[in-house]
Amino acid sequence: MNTHRLAFLTALTLAPSPLASQGFDCAKAQTPVEKLICAAPEIGALDKMLNAAVQARLAAAPHERGEFLADSRRWLAARDKACPVAEGNLAAGGRSTAIACLAKSYRARLDAIAALPPAQTTASDPDKALCHRFAEVYRGSLAARTGELSDPEGSLNQSPFNLLASTPNAGVARAPAATALPETSPQALDRWGRGQTPPVRFPANVKRDILSLGSSAILTIDQAPGTNFYTASQVQGTAHCIYSTAFTVRDGVARRVAKPLWSDQPGDSCGVDQFFGVIDGRTIAVQDYESPYEPSLAARLTLKPWEKNAFGPACGVSFDFEPVFADLASEPAQEPDRKCDSEACIKLKPAALALVKAVQRDPLAARKDAIERLSSAQRLTFAAMEKEAQDSRGDVPAPDAPASPASYLDQSPLLLPLQHQDHVYLASVGHYTIGWRIYPDWSVKLEKLDHNKLTMIGTAGVAMRRGALRSARVE
Protein backbone atom coordinates (compact mmCIF):
# COMPACT_ATOMS: atom_id res chain seq x y z
CA MET A 1 0.00 0.00 0.00
CA ASN A 2 1.52 3.39 -0.93
CA THR A 3 2.05 6.16 1.63
CA HIS A 4 -0.97 8.22 0.62
CA ARG A 5 -3.27 5.20 0.73
CA LEU A 6 -2.01 4.40 4.22
CA ALA A 7 -2.31 8.04 5.27
CA PHE A 8 -5.81 8.36 3.87
CA LEU A 9 -7.05 5.20 5.58
CA THR A 10 -5.36 6.25 8.81
CA ALA A 11 -7.09 9.61 8.49
CA LEU A 12 -10.40 7.81 8.42
CA THR A 13 -10.00 7.22 12.14
CA LEU A 14 -7.79 10.14 13.24
CA ALA A 15 -8.71 13.83 13.13
CA PRO A 16 -6.68 15.89 10.63
CA SER A 17 -4.23 18.52 11.76
CA PRO A 18 -5.84 21.97 11.78
CA LEU A 19 -2.68 23.28 10.07
CA ALA A 20 -2.95 20.94 7.09
CA SER A 21 -4.48 22.10 3.82
CA GLN A 22 -5.15 18.47 2.88
CA GLY A 23 -6.18 15.33 4.73
CA PHE A 24 -2.69 13.80 5.08
CA ASP A 25 0.88 14.81 5.94
CA CYS A 26 2.63 16.29 2.90
CA ALA A 27 6.02 15.76 4.56
CA LYS A 28 5.48 12.07 3.91
CA ALA A 29 4.29 12.44 0.30
CA GLN A 30 6.27 10.10 -1.96
CA THR A 31 4.24 9.09 -5.02
CA PRO A 32 3.53 11.47 -7.93
CA VAL A 33 -0.17 11.71 -7.09
CA GLU A 34 0.59 12.54 -3.43
CA LYS A 35 2.99 15.27 -4.48
CA LEU A 36 0.50 16.73 -6.94
CA ILE A 37 -2.21 16.81 -4.27
CA CYS A 38 0.16 18.75 -2.01
CA ALA A 39 1.32 21.05 -4.82
CA ALA A 40 -2.19 21.91 -6.06
CA PRO A 41 -4.11 23.91 -3.41
CA GLU A 42 -7.49 23.17 -4.97
CA ILE A 43 -6.89 19.39 -4.77
CA GLY A 44 -5.47 19.68 -1.26
CA ALA A 45 -8.64 21.46 -0.16
CA LEU A 46 -10.81 18.76 -1.73
CA ASP A 47 -8.72 16.06 -0.03
CA LYS A 48 -9.30 17.74 3.32
CA MET A 49 -13.04 18.06 2.65
CA LEU A 50 -13.22 14.38 1.76
CA ASN A 51 -11.33 13.43 4.92
CA ALA A 52 -13.84 15.39 7.00
CA ALA A 53 -16.81 13.81 5.17
CA VAL A 54 -15.44 10.32 5.77
CA GLN A 55 -14.88 10.96 9.48
CA ALA A 56 -18.39 12.40 9.84
CA ARG A 57 -19.94 9.33 8.19
CA LEU A 58 -17.98 6.92 10.37
CA ALA A 59 -18.98 8.81 13.50
CA ALA A 60 -22.66 8.79 12.48
CA ALA A 61 -22.74 5.13 11.41
CA PRO A 62 -20.05 3.09 13.20
CA HIS A 63 -21.80 -0.18 12.28
CA GLU A 64 -21.13 0.60 8.60
CA ARG A 65 -17.39 0.94 9.22
CA GLY A 66 -16.14 -2.18 7.43
CA GLU A 67 -18.31 -1.67 4.37
CA PHE A 68 -17.57 2.05 4.19
CA LEU A 69 -13.78 1.61 4.49
CA ALA A 70 -13.86 -1.05 1.77
CA ASP A 71 -15.75 1.38 -0.45
CA SER A 72 -13.13 4.07 0.30
CA ARG A 73 -10.34 1.71 -0.75
CA ARG A 74 -12.14 0.99 -4.01
CA TRP A 75 -12.47 4.71 -4.65
CA LEU A 76 -8.74 5.25 -4.05
CA ALA A 77 -7.87 2.52 -6.54
CA ALA A 78 -10.32 3.94 -9.10
CA ARG A 79 -8.96 7.47 -8.60
CA ASP A 80 -5.36 6.41 -9.18
CA LYS A 81 -6.32 4.38 -12.25
CA ALA A 82 -8.46 7.13 -13.77
CA CYS A 83 -5.98 9.95 -13.03
CA PRO A 84 -2.44 8.65 -13.61
CA VAL A 85 0.32 11.10 -12.70
CA ALA A 86 3.71 10.70 -14.36
CA GLU A 87 6.99 10.73 -12.43
CA GLY A 88 8.96 13.99 -12.51
CA ASN A 89 7.68 17.42 -13.41
CA LEU A 90 4.48 17.39 -15.43
CA ALA A 91 4.29 19.58 -18.48
CA ALA A 92 1.74 22.39 -18.21
CA GLY A 93 -0.87 20.54 -20.24
CA GLY A 94 -0.37 17.26 -18.42
CA ARG A 95 -0.49 18.95 -15.03
CA SER A 96 -3.76 20.71 -15.86
CA THR A 97 -5.29 17.48 -17.13
CA ALA A 98 -4.26 15.55 -14.01
CA ILE A 99 -5.58 18.25 -11.68
CA ALA A 100 -8.90 18.43 -13.52
CA CYS A 101 -9.22 14.63 -13.36
CA LEU A 102 -8.44 14.52 -9.64
CA ALA A 103 -10.87 17.35 -8.91
CA LYS A 104 -13.64 15.51 -10.78
CA SER A 105 -12.89 12.29 -8.89
CA TYR A 106 -12.91 14.02 -5.48
CA ARG A 107 -16.14 15.89 -6.19
CA ALA A 108 -17.81 12.69 -7.35
CA ARG A 109 -16.77 10.93 -4.14
CA LEU A 110 -18.01 13.83 -2.01
CA ASP A 111 -21.33 13.78 -3.87
CA ALA A 112 -21.61 10.02 -3.38
CA ILE A 113 -21.07 10.32 0.39
CA ALA A 114 -23.53 13.21 0.61
CA ALA A 115 -26.13 11.11 -1.25
CA LEU A 116 -25.88 8.18 1.18
CA PRO A 117 -29.13 7.52 3.07
CA PRO A 118 -29.32 8.78 6.66
CA ALA A 119 -27.17 6.66 8.94
CA GLN A 120 -29.01 3.93 10.83
CA THR A 121 -27.81 2.66 14.20
CA THR A 122 -29.07 -0.24 16.23
CA ALA A 123 -28.51 1.56 19.53
CA SER A 124 -30.79 4.49 18.78
CA ASP A 125 -33.44 2.54 16.88
CA PRO A 126 -34.23 -0.79 18.54
CA ASP A 127 -37.07 -1.48 16.11
CA LYS A 128 -34.42 -2.07 13.43
CA ALA A 129 -32.19 -4.32 15.52
CA LEU A 130 -33.69 -7.46 13.96
CA CYS A 131 -32.81 -6.30 10.44
CA HIS A 132 -29.29 -5.29 11.49
CA ARG A 133 -28.87 -8.74 12.99
CA PHE A 134 -30.13 -10.40 9.79
CA ALA A 135 -27.76 -8.30 7.66
CA GLU A 136 -24.74 -9.22 9.80
CA VAL A 137 -25.56 -12.95 9.70
CA TYR A 138 -26.02 -12.75 5.93
CA ARG A 139 -22.66 -10.99 5.50
CA GLY A 140 -20.99 -13.71 7.56
CA SER A 141 -22.63 -16.45 5.51
CA LEU A 142 -21.45 -14.88 2.25
CA ALA A 143 -17.91 -14.52 3.61
CA ALA A 144 -17.89 -18.29 4.19
CA ARG A 145 -19.09 -18.94 0.64
CA THR A 146 -16.52 -16.97 -1.36
CA GLY A 147 -15.80 -20.03 -3.49
CA GLU A 148 -19.34 -19.85 -4.90
CA LEU A 149 -19.00 -16.28 -6.24
CA SER A 150 -17.72 -17.52 -9.60
CA ASP A 151 -20.67 -19.90 -10.04
CA PRO A 152 -23.53 -18.08 -11.81
CA GLU A 153 -25.91 -20.88 -10.82
CA GLY A 154 -24.69 -21.06 -7.20
CA SER A 155 -26.72 -20.77 -4.02
CA LEU A 156 -25.94 -17.05 -3.68
CA ASN A 157 -28.61 -16.40 -6.27
CA GLN A 158 -31.44 -17.51 -4.03
CA SER A 159 -33.24 -15.25 -1.59
CA PRO A 160 -31.06 -14.15 1.37
CA PHE A 161 -33.68 -15.57 3.74
CA ASN A 162 -33.76 -18.94 1.99
CA LEU A 163 -29.96 -19.06 1.88
CA LEU A 164 -29.71 -18.49 5.63
CA ALA A 165 -32.54 -20.96 6.28
CA SER A 166 -30.40 -23.62 4.57
CA THR A 167 -27.21 -22.57 6.41
CA PRO A 168 -26.41 -24.58 9.56
CA ASN A 169 -26.26 -22.58 12.82
CA ALA A 170 -27.47 -19.35 11.18
CA GLY A 171 -30.47 -19.18 13.51
CA VAL A 172 -32.86 -18.64 10.57
CA ALA A 173 -35.71 -20.95 9.57
CA ARG A 174 -38.86 -20.87 7.46
CA ALA A 175 -42.11 -22.08 8.96
CA PRO A 176 -43.25 -25.56 7.87
CA ALA A 177 -45.17 -25.84 4.61
CA ALA A 178 -48.69 -24.45 4.72
CA THR A 179 -51.83 -26.56 4.81
CA ALA A 180 -53.41 -26.59 1.35
CA LEU A 181 -57.16 -27.13 1.22
CA PRO A 182 -58.39 -29.21 -1.73
CA GLU A 183 -61.07 -26.58 -2.38
CA THR A 184 -62.15 -23.14 -1.16
CA SER A 185 -65.55 -23.81 0.35
CA PRO A 186 -67.39 -23.62 3.70
CA GLN A 187 -67.17 -27.40 3.96
CA ALA A 188 -63.39 -27.43 3.40
CA LEU A 189 -62.90 -24.78 6.10
CA ASP A 190 -65.05 -26.68 8.56
CA ARG A 191 -63.13 -29.89 7.89
CA TRP A 192 -59.84 -28.10 8.46
CA GLY A 193 -61.16 -26.64 11.73
CA ARG A 194 -62.33 -30.01 13.04
CA GLY A 195 -58.90 -31.48 12.31
CA GLN A 196 -57.06 -29.03 14.57
CA THR A 197 -56.13 -29.69 18.22
CA PRO A 198 -58.19 -28.29 19.81
CA PRO A 199 -60.84 -27.95 17.05
CA VAL A 200 -61.41 -24.47 15.51
CA ARG A 201 -64.81 -23.00 14.72
CA PHE A 202 -65.23 -20.29 12.06
CA PRO A 203 -67.94 -17.67 12.79
CA ALA A 204 -69.91 -16.47 9.75
CA ASN A 205 -67.98 -13.17 9.35
CA VAL A 206 -64.54 -14.86 9.39
CA LYS A 207 -65.71 -17.59 7.04
CA ARG A 208 -67.10 -14.93 4.69
CA ASP A 209 -63.77 -13.05 4.62
CA ILE A 210 -61.85 -16.19 3.75
CA LEU A 211 -64.30 -17.36 1.09
CA SER A 212 -64.31 -13.89 -0.50
CA LEU A 213 -60.74 -14.54 -1.65
CA GLY A 214 -62.29 -16.60 -4.46
CA SER A 215 -62.79 -20.21 -5.40
CA SER A 216 -60.58 -20.46 -8.49
CA ALA A 217 -57.26 -20.99 -6.69
CA ILE A 218 -55.92 -23.28 -3.96
CA LEU A 219 -56.41 -21.94 -0.44
CA THR A 220 -53.51 -22.34 2.01
CA ILE A 221 -53.54 -21.75 5.76
CA ASP A 222 -50.27 -20.77 7.48
CA GLN A 223 -49.61 -20.59 11.21
CA ALA A 224 -46.94 -18.31 12.68
CA PRO A 225 -44.70 -20.66 14.70
CA GLY A 226 -45.48 -20.75 18.41
CA THR A 227 -48.49 -18.41 18.11
CA ASN A 228 -52.24 -18.53 17.59
CA PHE A 229 -51.92 -16.33 14.48
CA TYR A 230 -52.93 -17.66 11.04
CA THR A 231 -53.27 -16.42 7.47
CA ALA A 232 -55.50 -17.87 4.76
CA SER A 233 -54.09 -17.07 1.31
CA GLN A 234 -54.48 -17.64 -2.40
CA VAL A 235 -52.00 -17.06 -5.22
CA GLN A 236 -53.83 -15.86 -8.31
CA GLY A 237 -52.82 -15.12 -11.89
CA THR A 238 -49.56 -15.28 -13.81
CA ALA A 239 -48.29 -12.24 -11.86
CA HIS A 240 -48.28 -14.36 -8.69
CA CYS A 241 -50.62 -11.99 -6.78
CA ILE A 242 -51.32 -13.00 -3.18
CA TYR A 243 -54.74 -12.38 -1.66
CA SER A 244 -55.06 -13.15 2.02
CA THR A 245 -56.86 -12.60 5.29
CA ALA A 246 -55.65 -13.16 8.87
CA PHE A 247 -57.22 -14.58 11.99
CA THR A 248 -56.30 -15.66 15.49
CA VAL A 249 -57.77 -18.56 17.43
CA ARG A 250 -58.93 -18.01 21.02
CA ASP A 251 -60.92 -20.52 23.02
CA GLY A 252 -61.37 -22.57 19.84
CA VAL A 253 -62.94 -19.68 17.85
CA ALA A 254 -61.36 -17.93 14.84
CA ARG A 255 -61.33 -14.14 15.13
CA ARG A 256 -60.58 -11.74 12.26
CA VAL A 257 -57.42 -9.59 12.76
CA ALA A 258 -55.26 -7.28 10.68
CA LYS A 259 -52.64 -8.90 8.47
CA PRO A 260 -49.05 -8.57 9.73
CA LEU A 261 -47.52 -6.98 6.61
CA TRP A 262 -49.64 -7.66 3.61
CA SER A 263 -51.75 -4.99 2.01
CA ASP A 264 -55.51 -5.17 1.65
CA GLN A 265 -55.25 -3.48 -1.76
CA PRO A 266 -55.51 -5.89 -4.73
CA GLY A 267 -52.26 -6.10 -6.66
CA ASP A 268 -50.05 -4.74 -3.86
CA SER A 269 -48.74 -8.23 -3.13
CA CYS A 270 -47.85 -9.39 -6.65
CA GLY A 271 -44.56 -11.05 -7.49
CA VAL A 272 -43.47 -11.36 -3.85
CA ASP A 273 -43.17 -14.15 -1.31
CA GLN A 274 -44.95 -13.92 2.05
CA PHE A 275 -44.36 -16.40 4.83
CA PHE A 276 -43.62 -16.90 8.52
CA GLY A 277 -40.23 -17.77 9.91
CA VAL A 278 -37.94 -17.71 12.91
CA ILE A 279 -34.79 -15.68 13.57
CA ASP A 280 -32.79 -16.51 16.72
CA GLY A 281 -35.85 -18.23 18.17
CA ARG A 282 -38.12 -15.25 17.49
CA THR A 283 -41.21 -15.65 15.30
CA ILE A 284 -41.41 -13.21 12.39
CA ALA A 285 -43.59 -12.39 9.41
CA VAL A 286 -41.59 -11.98 6.20
CA GLN A 287 -42.30 -10.20 2.94
CA ASP A 288 -39.62 -11.22 0.46
CA TYR A 289 -39.37 -9.14 -2.71
CA GLU A 290 -37.17 -11.72 -4.40
CA SER A 291 -38.27 -12.23 -7.98
CA PRO A 292 -36.61 -13.90 -10.97
CA TYR A 293 -38.67 -11.70 -13.28
CA GLU A 294 -36.70 -8.47 -13.02
CA PRO A 295 -33.22 -7.42 -14.16
CA SER A 296 -32.13 -6.01 -10.80
CA LEU A 297 -29.72 -8.09 -8.74
CA ALA A 298 -30.84 -6.42 -5.52
CA ALA A 299 -32.68 -8.28 -2.75
CA ARG A 300 -35.12 -6.74 -0.29
CA LEU A 301 -36.93 -8.09 2.77
CA THR A 302 -39.41 -6.69 5.28
CA LEU A 303 -39.35 -8.35 8.71
CA LYS A 304 -41.97 -7.99 11.43
CA PRO A 305 -41.38 -9.74 14.78
CA TRP A 306 -44.02 -11.28 17.04
CA GLU A 307 -44.23 -9.44 20.34
CA LYS A 308 -46.38 -11.03 23.06
CA ASN A 309 -49.82 -11.18 21.41
CA ALA A 310 -49.30 -9.35 18.10
CA PHE A 311 -46.75 -8.48 15.43
CA GLY A 312 -44.67 -5.43 16.32
CA PRO A 313 -43.01 -2.70 14.20
CA ALA A 314 -41.53 -3.75 10.86
CA CYS A 315 -38.04 -3.08 9.53
CA GLY A 316 -36.58 -3.54 6.07
CA VAL A 317 -33.20 -4.68 4.80
CA SER A 318 -31.88 -4.34 1.22
CA PHE A 319 -28.82 -5.96 -0.38
CA ASP A 320 -26.97 -4.92 -3.52
CA PHE A 321 -24.50 -7.17 -5.34
CA GLU A 322 -21.70 -7.07 -7.86
CA PRO A 323 -22.71 -8.80 -11.11
CA VAL A 324 -21.14 -12.07 -12.26
CA PHE A 325 -21.34 -12.98 -15.95
CA ALA A 326 -21.12 -16.23 -17.89
CA ASP A 327 -22.06 -17.65 -21.25
CA LEU A 328 -25.74 -18.61 -21.11
CA ALA A 329 -25.84 -22.25 -22.11
CA SER A 330 -29.64 -22.51 -22.40
CA GLU A 331 -31.66 -19.55 -23.63
CA PRO A 332 -34.90 -18.57 -21.84
CA ALA A 333 -36.74 -19.05 -25.16
CA GLN A 334 -36.12 -21.37 -28.07
CA GLU A 335 -37.24 -19.29 -31.03
CA PRO A 336 -34.84 -19.78 -33.97
CA ASP A 337 -33.65 -16.16 -33.95
CA ARG A 338 -32.70 -16.43 -30.27
CA LYS A 339 -30.23 -19.25 -30.82
CA CYS A 340 -26.51 -18.88 -31.35
CA ASP A 341 -25.60 -22.10 -33.10
CA SER A 342 -24.01 -20.78 -36.30
CA GLU A 343 -20.24 -20.74 -36.61
CA ALA A 344 -20.21 -16.95 -37.01
CA CYS A 345 -22.33 -16.37 -33.89
CA ILE A 346 -20.27 -18.75 -31.75
CA LYS A 347 -17.08 -16.85 -32.69
CA LEU A 348 -18.69 -13.58 -31.61
CA LYS A 349 -19.81 -14.84 -28.18
CA PRO A 350 -16.71 -13.68 -26.23
CA ALA A 351 -17.02 -10.18 -27.72
CA ALA A 352 -20.73 -10.16 -26.91
CA LEU A 353 -20.00 -11.05 -23.28
CA ALA A 354 -17.44 -8.24 -23.03
CA LEU A 355 -19.99 -5.83 -24.50
CA VAL A 356 -22.61 -6.82 -21.91
CA LYS A 357 -20.14 -6.24 -19.06
CA ALA A 358 -19.48 -2.73 -20.39
CA VAL A 359 -23.21 -1.98 -20.79
CA GLN A 360 -23.92 -3.12 -17.22
CA ARG A 361 -21.26 -0.70 -15.95
CA ASP A 362 -22.43 2.30 -18.00
CA PRO A 363 -24.63 1.88 -21.09
CA LEU A 364 -23.88 5.20 -22.79
CA ALA A 365 -20.16 5.02 -22.03
CA ALA A 366 -20.10 1.50 -23.50
CA ARG A 367 -21.77 2.74 -26.67
CA LYS A 368 -19.46 5.74 -26.95
CA ASP A 369 -16.32 3.65 -26.42
CA ALA A 370 -17.45 1.03 -28.94
CA ILE A 371 -18.08 3.70 -31.61
CA GLU A 372 -14.76 5.47 -30.95
CA ARG A 373 -12.85 2.25 -31.64
CA LEU A 374 -14.28 2.04 -35.18
CA SER A 375 -12.52 3.25 -38.28
CA SER A 376 -14.19 5.93 -40.40
CA ALA A 377 -15.52 3.33 -42.83
CA GLN A 378 -16.79 1.14 -40.00
CA ARG A 379 -18.63 4.10 -38.46
CA LEU A 380 -20.46 4.63 -41.72
CA THR A 381 -21.40 0.95 -41.78
CA PHE A 382 -22.64 1.09 -38.19
CA ALA A 383 -24.64 4.25 -38.88
CA ALA A 384 -26.35 2.50 -41.80
CA MET A 385 -27.14 -0.58 -39.69
CA GLU A 386 -28.47 1.55 -36.83
CA LYS A 387 -30.74 3.52 -39.16
CA GLU A 388 -32.05 0.32 -40.73
CA ALA A 389 -32.80 -1.09 -37.26
CA GLN A 390 -34.51 2.10 -36.08
CA ASP A 391 -36.63 2.29 -39.23
CA SER A 392 -37.76 -1.33 -38.98
CA ARG A 393 -38.35 -1.49 -35.20
CA GLY A 394 -40.75 0.72 -33.35
CA ASP A 395 -39.34 0.51 -29.82
CA VAL A 396 -35.65 1.42 -29.89
CA PRO A 397 -34.57 3.92 -27.21
CA ALA A 398 -32.90 7.14 -28.28
CA PRO A 399 -29.18 6.27 -28.54
CA ASP A 400 -27.99 9.09 -26.27
CA ALA A 401 -30.83 9.09 -23.72
CA PRO A 402 -29.48 8.39 -20.21
CA ALA A 403 -30.94 5.18 -18.81
CA SER A 404 -30.09 2.48 -16.30
CA PRO A 405 -28.86 -0.93 -17.53
CA ALA A 406 -32.10 -2.46 -16.23
CA SER A 407 -34.19 -0.38 -18.66
CA TYR A 408 -32.85 -2.05 -21.81
CA LEU A 409 -34.90 -5.08 -22.89
CA ASP A 410 -34.64 -7.40 -25.87
CA GLN A 411 -37.77 -5.68 -27.23
CA SER A 412 -36.30 -2.18 -26.66
CA PRO A 413 -32.52 -2.70 -26.79
CA LEU A 414 -29.46 -0.51 -26.76
CA LEU A 415 -27.82 -0.50 -30.21
CA LEU A 416 -24.02 -0.72 -30.29
CA PRO A 417 -21.36 -1.72 -32.78
CA LEU A 418 -19.53 -4.98 -32.12
CA GLN A 419 -16.13 -5.06 -33.77
CA HIS A 420 -14.50 -8.40 -34.49
CA GLN A 421 -11.32 -8.58 -36.51
CA ASP A 422 -11.97 -6.35 -39.56
CA HIS A 423 -15.75 -6.55 -39.43
CA VAL A 424 -18.38 -4.52 -37.59
CA TYR A 425 -21.73 -5.93 -36.55
CA LEU A 426 -24.87 -4.46 -35.04
CA ALA A 427 -25.44 -5.64 -31.47
CA SER A 428 -28.91 -5.13 -29.97
CA VAL A 429 -28.36 -5.52 -26.22
CA GLY A 430 -31.17 -5.94 -23.68
CA HIS A 431 -32.49 -8.18 -20.94
CA TYR A 432 -34.41 -11.29 -21.97
CA THR A 433 -38.18 -11.02 -21.71
CA ILE A 434 -40.93 -13.61 -21.93
CA GLY A 435 -44.31 -11.92 -21.82
CA TRP A 436 -44.32 -9.60 -18.79
CA ARG A 437 -41.36 -11.41 -17.23
CA ILE A 438 -37.99 -9.65 -17.38
CA TYR A 439 -34.85 -11.64 -16.57
CA PRO A 440 -31.40 -10.52 -15.37
CA ASP A 441 -29.86 -12.46 -18.28
CA TRP A 442 -28.81 -10.47 -21.33
CA SER A 443 -29.71 -11.01 -24.97
CA VAL A 444 -27.22 -9.83 -27.62
CA LYS A 445 -28.85 -9.99 -31.04
CA LEU A 446 -26.15 -9.94 -33.71
CA GLU A 447 -26.71 -8.73 -37.28
CA LYS A 448 -24.60 -7.69 -40.25
CA LEU A 449 -25.25 -5.47 -43.24
CA ASP A 450 -25.77 -7.37 -46.47
CA HIS A 451 -26.79 -5.39 -49.59
CA ASN A 452 -28.05 -2.54 -47.36
CA LYS A 453 -30.25 -4.96 -45.41
CA LEU A 454 -29.69 -6.37 -41.95
CA THR A 455 -29.04 -10.11 -41.93
CA MET A 456 -29.47 -12.15 -38.74
CA ILE A 457 -26.43 -13.99 -37.38
CA GLY A 458 -27.87 -15.20 -34.08
CA THR A 459 -28.48 -14.16 -30.49
CA ALA A 460 -25.79 -14.69 -27.85
CA GLY A 461 -27.09 -15.16 -24.32
CA VAL A 462 -25.14 -13.87 -21.31
CA ALA A 463 -26.10 -15.00 -17.82
CA MET A 464 -25.93 -12.33 -15.09
CA ARG A 465 -26.07 -13.44 -11.47
CA ARG A 466 -25.15 -12.14 -8.03
CA GLY A 467 -21.51 -11.94 -7.05
CA ALA A 468 -19.89 -10.19 -4.09
CA LEU A 469 -22.10 -8.16 -1.75
CA ARG A 470 -21.76 -4.44 -2.45
CA SER A 471 -23.87 -3.09 0.37
CA ALA A 472 -26.53 -3.86 2.95
CA ARG A 473 -28.93 -1.14 4.03
CA VAL A 474 -31.42 -1.26 6.91
CA GLU A 475 -34.54 0.88 6.80
DSSP state of 357: H
What pLDDT score does 2 carry? 41
Residue 460 in this model has a pLDDT that exceeds 60: yes
Instruction: Name which of 5, 110, 101, 104 is nearest 49 in CA terms.
Output: 110
What pLDDT score does 249 carry? 95
Q: How does pLDDT run across 227-257, given as a tens digit for each residue?
A: 999 999 888 876 678 888 999 999 999 999 9
User: Could you tell me if residue 151 is inside a domain?
Assistant: no
Report cis status (omega within 30 of 0) of the bond before 266: no
What pLDDT score does 242 carry? 84
Q: What Å distances lie between residue 253 and 201, 203, 223, 247, 274, CA to CA? A: 5, 7, 15, 10, 25
Single out the residue in 97, 114, 131 at which a domain terminates: 114
User: Could you tell me if residue 85 is inside a domain?
Assistant: yes
**C-alpha–C-alpha distance, residues 156 and 146, integer Å:** 10
Residue 256 and residue 360 in one domain: no
Model pTM score: 0.67
463 near 152, Cβ under 8 Å? yes
Q: How does pLDDT run across 156-181, given as a tens digit for each residue?
A: 678 899 999 999 999 999 999 888 99
User: Could you tell me if residue 130 is inside a domain?
Assistant: no
User: Could you tell me if residue 439 is inside a domain?
Assistant: yes
Residue 270 and residue 332 in one domain: no
Residue 303 and residue 423 in one domain: no
What pLDDT score does 10 carry? 38
Residue 385 and residue 289 in one domain: no
- 124 versus 190: the higher-pLDDT residue is 190
Residue 328 and residue 462 in one domain: yes
Single out the residue in 77, 98, 114 at which a domain terminates: 114
Q: How does pLDDT run across 379-426, given as a tens digit for each residue?
A: 999 999 999 888 877 666 677 777 789 889 988 899 999 999 889 999
User: Could you tell me if residue 474 is inside a domain?
Assistant: no
Residue 328 and residue 461 in one domain: yes
Residue 220 and residue 337 in one domain: no
Residue 208 and residue 304 in one domain: yes
The type of residue at 224 is: A
159 near 272, Cβ under 8 Å? no
What pLDDT score does 99 carry? 86
User: Could you tell me if residue 142 is inside a domain?
Assistant: no
Instruction: Please list, in sequence order, all residues whose beta carbon lies within 8 angstroms of the beta carbon of residue 324, skipping any fewer than 6 positions away.
Output: 149, 150, 152, 464, 465, 466, 467
**C-alpha–C-alpha distance, residues 202 and 193, integer Å:** 8
What pLDDT score does 36 carry? 83
Strand partners, 205: none
The type of residue at 247 is: F
**DSSP E strands, 386-452:** 414-420, 423-434, 437-450
Under the banding of pLDDT at 50, 70 and 90, the label for residue 21 is: very low
Single out the residue in 74, 92, 114 at which a domain terminates: 114
Strand partners, 168: none
Strand partners, 220: 180, 233
141 near 469, Cβ under 8 Å? no
Residue 295 and residue 357 in one domain: no
What pLDDT score does 250 carry? 93
Residue 342 and residue 297 in one domain: no
Residue 305 and residue 329 in one domain: no
Instruction: Please list, in sequence order, all residues whose beta carbon lies within 8 angstroms of the beta carbon of residue 278, skipping any fewer than 6 positions away.
Output: 172, 173, 175, 225, 284
What pLDDT score does 367 carry? 94
User: Could you tell me if residue 9 is inside a domain?
Assistant: yes
Residue 328 and residue 381 in one domain: yes
453-474 and 310-311 beta bridge pairing: unpaired
User: Could you tell me if residue 375 is inside a domain?
Assistant: yes
Q: What counts of helices (H) and strands (E) characterise the chain?
A: 12, 15
Q: How many domains does the chain have?
A: 3
Going 4 to 8 to 14 to 20, the CA torsion angle's sign is positive
- Mean residue pLDDT of the chain comes to 82
Domain range for residue 84?
3-114
